[in-house]
Amino acid sequence: MKYEIGDFVSKPVTGICKIENILYLNPQDEKNDKLYYLMKPVEDEKEKIYVPVSSSDSRLRLCLTKEEAWNLIKRIPDIPTAWTNNEKMREQNYKEAYKILCQTTVLPGVCGRVCPHMKQCQGSCVRGIKGEPVNIGDLEAFVFDKAIEENLKLKDYMPQKINEELKSKKVAIIGGGPAGLTCSAFLAKEGIQVTIFEKYNYLGGILVHGIPNFRLDKKVVENTVKQILDLGVQVKYGMELGKNLKLEELENQFDAIFLCIGANKSGKMGVEGESLKGVFGGNELLEFNTHPNYTGKIVSVIGGGNVAMDCARTIKKLRSKTSKCHI
């Protein structure tokens, strides 16, 4: 077994966790010999996370010990600065960086701008122990912008692995948001025929109507979508599941269907009064632009995450000078 009880591991999104136990969750798991790691985030020991041991290699990374981290930090001054005065070589390095990104993501321009890097990659960067962590988010966004500026094509830099057995297969993707775009790109690179069914007249989903322009320039989304469609992905707009799109019909036309219709409704807190007039969910407020008249109103935004900040900033831009916004 790769990890032991007491080990500290890094998990995407969650951050650093401590493995508290290795166990079966139920008798069926024990029968199938399916073990789980029971982990607790160091920043929230009340939370419990279960990760299958069988899939841990792709989801967990063992943290360095304090001694290992300090030994690595001491070596930093001895590591030569990766720089060259040769302009052509620097350009080639941009291309190599884009090639590396394209192996695992088709949304570097988006993720480099909106992902919570300090809770994920940058937060786990050992260089941050002594100085500043590598600014991964800005680097990712910069490489994408440079690729667009230099007219580099995703199809030329994304590893193409045409599978002859899959070339005749067809996959329907319902929803053209981040998940649908990513899935379509990685399927298309295998030679699979992909069709996206999108209810709006544009692709991008929450990237377009859920994240304000001041945080994510829509030109970035537009360039991202264009790169993905260049892989040969087909799109049918104005198609909504349950209205003019039926699963039964798609099952007869496609070999597989990927549902990614998004989380369009805000979560409920279960408190009294949240259904009253004038109370809005963050997702609905941003996606459907259902803003009331804020003139002379005091607005309270409950929450302090990304959606709350987006709502507060959007409201502040829309409100009159006499309004107030409390968070």
What does the pLDDT look like over 203-256, one tens digit per residue?
999 899 888 888 899 999 999 999 999 999 999 999 999 999 999 999 999 999
pLDDT at residue number 289: 58
Read off the DSSP letter of residue 134.
P
Mark which of 157, 192, 225 sits at the end of a domain. Answer: 157
Mark which of 259, 274, 290 sits at the end of a domain. Answer: 259
Q: Range with the lowest mean pLDDT among 2-16, 172-186, 263-277?
A: 263-277
Paired tokens of 93: 């390095």
> Which is nearest to 308 in space by CA: 271, 273, 282, 278?
282
Paired tokens of 51: 């990760």
Domain-embedded: residue 72: no
pLDDT in tens, 40-54: 988 887 888 998 888
pTM: predicted TM-score of the whole model, two decimal places: 0.71
More confident residue, 136 or 84: 136
Domain-embedded: residue 144: yes
Read off the DSSP letter of residue 77.
G
User: Is 96 found in the same domain as 15?
Assistant: no
User: Is 185 found in the same domain as 239?
Assistant: yes
- What is the b/e burial string over 129-156, where b = at least 16 CB atoms within 10 angstroms of the residue's CB? eeeebeebbeebbbbbbebbeeebebbe
Helices (H) and strands (E) in the chain, counts: 12, 11
Rounded distance between C-alpha atoms, residue 91 and residue 93, angstroms: 5
- Which residue range is the domain that position 208 belongs to? 170-259
User: Is 298 found in the same domain as 252?
Assistant: no
- Band (pLDDT 50/70/90 cuts) for residue 320 is very low
pLDDT at residue number 319: 67
Task: Say yes or no to pLDDT of 2 above 90.
Answer: no
Domain-embedded: residue 108: yes
Q: Into how many domains does the chain fold?
A: 4
- Band (pLDDT 50/70/90 cuts) for residue 323 is very low
User: Is 149 found in the same domain as 100?
Assistant: yes
